[in-house]
Chains A and B, each alone.
Chain A
Amino acid sequence: MKIKEDNYMKWFRLIAFVVILLATVACLFPFLLIISASFTQNEAIIKDGYHLIPTVFSFEGYATVFRFPKQVLTAYGVTTLTTVIGTTLGLFLMTMAGYVLQRKDFKYRNFFSFMIYFTTLFGGGLVPWYILITKYLKLTDKLEVLILPGLMTPFLIILMKNFIRSAVPDEVIESAKIDGANDFTIYSRIVLQLSMPGIATVGLFLALHYWNDWFTSSLFINDTTKYQLQYYLYNVINAMSFIAQMGSGTGVSLGSDMPTESTKMAMSIIVTGPILFLYPFVQRYFVKGLTIGAVKG
């Protein structure tokens, strides 16, 4: 029997290897085109299209993005700050919420779960939310507006709830309670450690959300030193496209000479870069959680 098993495993691993390899190449291919295009001269892109190797090599895309290095660095700083603060705070609040919602002895968990979930179904739309933030909460041009609205999403809370439920058996909580721990201690000492893979996942998604956010800056920030990175970069590109289209009425003869396509590609690469560094770091949390030896005996 053991030999048969080994054969199956070997075949399986082979199939797995091939499939994963194919999937990876499929994902990578367009990305290679983008990298190549980011190093290609703008005119060559419009004329000849995209190729795996730049037809006419040029740094103009990157040069345009980093035209004003101080501004780019400031935007990087803002986004990093909001991502770190937002993710930490959000994770803290969401893990607590997820933990509470999965406790079978919490009578109103279904009601609250529904209440949170309901917000994904219905909404008042953009205008009321905009009025709320600008008129009533007066958050325009403040850093808080970049952090607060994105702190939690129903999807992540419920995801967290599921992760905790499958990672932390009820018996563990029971035995801890018998030992005299209160809910918060259980949460911080036991639940957090056991649900690491889940927390890592939710944390990753939350961080991504903050990192990619440009919408909040677009609506609420006028102060250029508080622009998020994505927004700053989008502006660079949109300004170019718009001036190209709206030549009339502006009389701007200079500055309309920007390499739009190369810059768009360079921007893609610049934005993705840091996340690629973050991801492997997060990956090490995708390991089996500490065994629940506490219950076995």
Chain B
Amino acid sequence: MTNKAAKAVSMLLSIIILIAVLSACGSNNNGNGGNATNAPKETEGTTNAGGEKAGIDTSKKVELQFYMLGDAPKDIASIQEQVNKMALEDLNATVKFNYTSWTDWDQKYKLLLGSGQQVDLIFTAEWTQYQSYAKKGAFQALDELLPAAAPTLNSFVPKEMWDAVKIDDKIYTVPATYKEYVTDGFVWREDLRAKYNLPTPVDIATFEQYLEGIKKNEPTITPLSMNSDVKTNLMDRFKGIAHAPIGALPYGIGINYKTPGEVYSYWGSDEQKEDLNVLKRWQDNGYMVKNVLAVKDTLQDQITSGKAAAILGDNPTRYNDMVIKIQSTHPDWKLGYTPYPETNGIATPVHPIHNGFAIPASSKNAERALAFYEKLVTDKRYNMLTQYGVEGKNYEVKDGYYSMIGDSNSNGFPREGMNGWAWRNPEYMLFDKNYDGVKAIFEKLDKIQVPDKFTGFAEDYTPYQAERAALEQVEKQYLFPLNAGLVKNVDEGLNTFMEKAKQAGLEKIQAEYTKQWNDYVTEQGIK
């Protein structure tokens, strides 16, 4: 390196080190300060147990930062104002509702939690990685706070739900109490089925016959609606109906619902070989498009536009959406639905983790935040306002049904416009008339409901983090084409995949995961 460049680099390094030292001093103070504020709150809670608002200190006015995913409704400003009027009176606090929008939301979620920014309340769900974040300490534990700051909420949510959201034996989020099902089911064009007298899909065999029938009789329609996410939309759904897994398990682990204590490796098993051969048959027979791994259309769009005729598995709410959509665009079409539970008898309602609200570690107003959240859920004024808007302006109640005023362009607050899925209160909920179809399905499922034994498990992947990332790569490169039926020789292809997977560390991951799972099962006494 030339003299000049060497000088340059050394100058830079010294600048960097200087900055590092300075920020270290600054951060040390912040870090310690952050940890310190958590302690007093907990002691405050225990000493002032019982009593409504007497339990928390409302002497200082605070502004709570509330974060939700998606977009805010147009009328958010006026709703926020009205909420704040009440909150100021009740809790000497105001709230600012913030929305991350759907663009890059997971990136923002990560930044909100990881940067130490002041956030008081944030949405959680299993699909926002609640379990992982909770395990890593992103949220504050609510066990002590609940009886002190939100006793009504504490008793409103049933004990099983509190237990279900515990990670490492502590409550980190407030679950929503509305029970719904997101189990999968076959979806198909019923009008075509009747036209060609095809069997009704209730299991893989009949579904395959249906696909064959479409292929023969309607050459321009692709029988199976499928896109590049062959893992979730094809493999997991297939397994869901062909076998009876306890949940969508990662890393090729196999556990049957009825035998949670027995863990085997689905990957590399004969079971998998059989399944892959079926899928290969589907591909060879032309039930899915050859370039399925490059398709980006949603499964639903393909049905509603008439491009495809059936979906392997979808949930009742989305099925209902499709039905409503084609009612206006193609009234002569009909859709049919068979929920998987009707065939395999396992109907698990949504896990309490599915919609919840947590208090991030960085919040300095945990008590007030929790008390405010209690209001949102249990106080009818707050709840109706934030779920449906202003009665008479945004909605009306007709025959007990929710009815929107105006249309989606003029209305400033559609139903659940604030994305308030987490603070729904079944006692106050209003439904759109269209939703009756879904409710009917839910009622059928209620009759066969069984508890969800899987979602409550929080895996700690720090011991195998590197292997996990490497495995992801191998899966996409070698397993996806197998799933899509594109590999000519299934046996060979599977062997190659297993080899590469083992190289990436599959055995270590499976061993560690199994150990954690078994611990979880014994602890929770899951049978």
Q: Give the total number of A-B pairs whose CB atoms are below 8 A apart.
A: 125
A292 within 8 A of B: no
Is the CB–CB distance between A254 and B415 below 8 Å? yes
Is the CB–CB distance between A260 and B301 below 8 Å? yes
Q: Which residues of A contact B304 (CB under 8 A)?
A: 43
Is the CB–CB distance between B102 and A242 below 8 Å? yes
From A43, A224, A235, A248, contact of B305 by CB (8 A): A43
Q: Which residues of B contact A255 (CB under 8 A)?
A: 408, 414
B65-80 vs A, Cβ < 8 Å mask (1 yes, 0 no): 0000011101000000
Is the CB–CB distance between A238 and B101 below 8 Å? yes
Q: Which residues of B contact A242 (CB under 8 A)?
A: 70, 102
User: Of all chain B residues, which has the CB nearest A70?
Assistant: B74
Is the CB–CB distance between A46 and B416 below 8 Å? no
A218-256 vs B, Cβ < 8 Å mask (1 yes, 0 no): 110010100000010011001101101111111111111
From A47, A231, A234, A241, contact of B307 by CB (8 A): A47
Is the CB–CB distance between A251 and B317 below 8 Å? yes
Is the CB–CB distance between B7 and A248 below 8 Å? no
Q: In angstroms, how far is the closest chain A Cβ from the Cβ of B314? A: 8
Q: Which residues of B contact A249 (CB under 8 A)?
A: 125, 180, 182, 317, 350, 354-355, 421
Task: Evaluate whether A219 and B350 lie within 8 angstroms (CB atoms) in the complex, with A250-B421, A253-B435, A256-B321 already known.
Answer: no
Task: Evaluate whether A248 and B5 lie within 8 angstroms (CB atoms) in the complex, with A118-B12, A253-B434 already known.
Answer: no
Q: What are 6 A-B residue pairs whose CB atoms fall within 8 Å in the complex?
A: A224-B72, A238-B102, A239-B102, A244-B301, A247-B300, A249-B421
Interface size on B, residues (CB 8 A): 59
Range of interface residues on A (Cβ < 8 Å): 35 or more
Is the CB–CB distance between A251 and B435 below 8 Å? yes
Question: Which of the segments B112-120, B268-276, B471-479 contacts the partner chain?
Answer: B112-120
Is the CB–CB distance between B115 and A67 below 8 Å? no
A110 within 8 A of B: yes
User: Of all chain B residues, which has the CB nearest A256?
Assistant: B321
User: Of all chain A residues, which has the CB nearest B421?
Assistant: A249
**A31-51 at interface with B (beta carbon < 8 Å):** 42-44, 46-47
From B12, B98, B114, B329, contact of A222 by CB (8 A): B98
From A43, A244, A252, contact of B416 by CB (8 A): A252
Q: Tell me the bound Cα distance from A246 to B404 in angstroms.
A: 22
**B residues apposed to A, CB below 8 Å:** 4-5, 7-8, 11-12, 70-72, 74, 98-99, 101-104, 107-108, 111, 114-117, 125, 127, 180, 182, 297-298, 300-302, 304-307, 315, 317-318, 320-321, 324-325, 329, 350, 354-355, 404, 408-409, 414-416, 419, 421, 432, 434-435, 438
Is the CB–CB distance between A245 and B298 below 8 Å? yes
**A residues apposed to B, CB below 8 Å:** 42-44, 46-47, 67-68, 110-111, 114-115, 118, 126-127, 130-131, 134-135, 214, 218-219, 222, 224, 231, 234-235, 238-239, 241-242, 244-257, 260
Q: Which residues of A contact B318 (CB under 8 A)?
A: 247-248
Q: Which residues of B contact A260 (CB under 8 A)?
A: 301
Provide the main secondary structure of the chain A interface: helix
Q: Which residues of A contact B306 (CB under 8 A)?
A: 43, 47
Q: In angstroms, how far is the closest chain B Cβ from the Cβ of A62? A: 14
**6 new A-B contacts at CB < 8 Å, known A238-B103, A253-B432, A254-B408:** A42-B305, A247-B318, A248-B317, A251-B435, A253-B435, A254-B414
Q: In angstroms, how far is the closest chain A Cβ from the Cβ of B428? A: 14
The 4 A-B residue pairs with the shortest CB-CB distance in the complex, in nearest-first order: A247-B318, A238-B102, A46-B305, A248-B182
Q: Which residues of B contact A42 (CB under 8 A)?
A: 305
From A47, A135, A246, A254, contact of B116 by CB (8 A): A135
Q: Which residues of B contact A135 (CB under 8 A)?
A: 115-117
Is the CB–CB distance between B317 and A127 below 8 Å? no
